[in-house]
Structure 1
């Protein structure tokens, strides 16, 4: 069950909204009455989705963003505030995975994961926290990963970036006990997304096989995001882990 009125009229920014968990989250938020800002690099995809959501009666806008660029994220937040008057929640979902054994690792791949998975979150916080402080309320949701809970071969650097993001979120929680900012970290396991598309052929086949065999529909994670956002202001869902029942 969910509180059908809890998200009505709330403005929520979702990064990585062009596919997978971000797309499913944006769609579900719109269904529950939120104003949705779809943010991603693939302009054509988010523009098309925003159009579909508006046709269904939602208030939705698409803003192109590169979360690895602090100025781009600041522009995203500024434009969202101009469009809707404020931001009630920021869902930091954009992420990349470049898997390889450490001895075979590529510095460019490592840097890409640090730039998107960790710096992307930090850029979001830098831009949105002042807005939350001015408003007197706000909620940050970060999509991390079970890869940081169970460390597997080839996932060392990816897991490290996700655990760094988890640490940042816990620090933010500890710094936010005045009741203004709420924090939630969500750790999905295998989910059917496009995350594997940028991997090498061997890693991609391995990950995609798991997704096909038992990966969750992204909507399962979207429901978890909405569950956290729908709680009363004095309730904070600090951490949620969501994985397929049969995932080890």
Structure 2
């Protein structure tokens, strides 16, 4: 896009940064000049990613945390502000998918999806809001962004996907409600809804990819970098342009 802006001098916080879409987005935003805060539970993977970003000339802060704990989420944002003094972009990419027959599925798995997909996103967003609004007033770009990674499962329900559907419908709805609330303050809220993507999401529970192929056939899945490109497109637009929602499906996925 010819009007895309570089992110030099800005700070981006990315959850789920230890793998998949979060990792790819962190690399992409760092390439565009942002200082990036990498948040996930697996510190070794975060350290490896931070080294990769540093080797490419970027700056990364590693924060190993469980954002499903509201106090840890608060501490994450505090560490970002302590290190960088600002926060311009929040990408909520942490996600968990544990689908299967509802009768057999353990209640613990449902709780975990609600905790990661919804509560973690909610806690980080709540803590980040004052700093994002402050960044609007002090940035030459005069805008800040929250990008939430939902799913096509946040648009269309399917059997054996009830709780994952519920969390992703909630993410999509909350993003739109926040968009309306903060649009006059130049804080943009956007949601990306990927289809089948080649990440660890399908590996989080045995049989999930087989269940997907039984419904849709063998499709060529998206790459995490495809979704990272969508996130970069959103946040590099000038202040006048707000991308509210992006749906990205594999070409072969119905």
Same fold (TM over 0.5): yes
Distance in 2 of aligned mates of 1:204 and 1:76: 33
Match 1:180 to one of 186, 190, 193: 186
Q: How does the TM-score come out when normalised to structure 1? A: 0.93
**RMSD of the TM alignment (CA)?**
1.9
Distance in 1 (alpha carbons) for counterparts of 2:208 and 2:152: 17
Q: 1:57-68 to 2 correspondence within 5 Å?
A: 57-68=57-68
| 1:1-248 equivalent positions in 2, closer than 5 A | 1=1, 5-136=5-136, 137-199=143-205, 201-207=206-212, 213-248=219-254
Tell me the matched-pair count.
Answer: 247
TM-aligned CA deviation for residue 208 of structure 1: 8.0
Contiguous gaps of at least 5 residues in structure 2 = 137-142
Shift of 1:133: 2.7
Q: Structure 1 residue 211: deviation in Å?
A: 10
Question: Structure 1 stretch 98-107 or stretch 229-238: which is displaced more?
Answer: 98-107
d(CA) in 2 for partners of 1:82, 1:228: 26
CA distance in 2, matches of 1:55, 1:125: 30
In 2, Cα distance between equivalents of 1:20 and 1:84:
25
Q: SS state of the match for residue 177, structure 1? A: helix
TM-score (norm 2): 0.91
Would you say the 8 A contact 2:13–2:87 is kept in 1? yes
TM superposition shift of 1:30: 1.3
Distance 1:211 1:63 in 2: 39
Decide whether the 8 Å contact of 1:192 with 1:212 is kept in 2: no
Partner Cα separation in structure 2 for residue 197 and residue 157 of structure 1? 17
Looking at structure 2, the residues matched to 208 and 56 of structure 1 have their Cα atoms a distance apart, in angstroms, of 38
Please give the secondary structure, in 2, of the residue aligned with 1:176. helix
Q: Which moved more, 1:106-115 or 1:177-186?
A: 177-186
Deviation of the 1:132 alpha carbon: 1.9
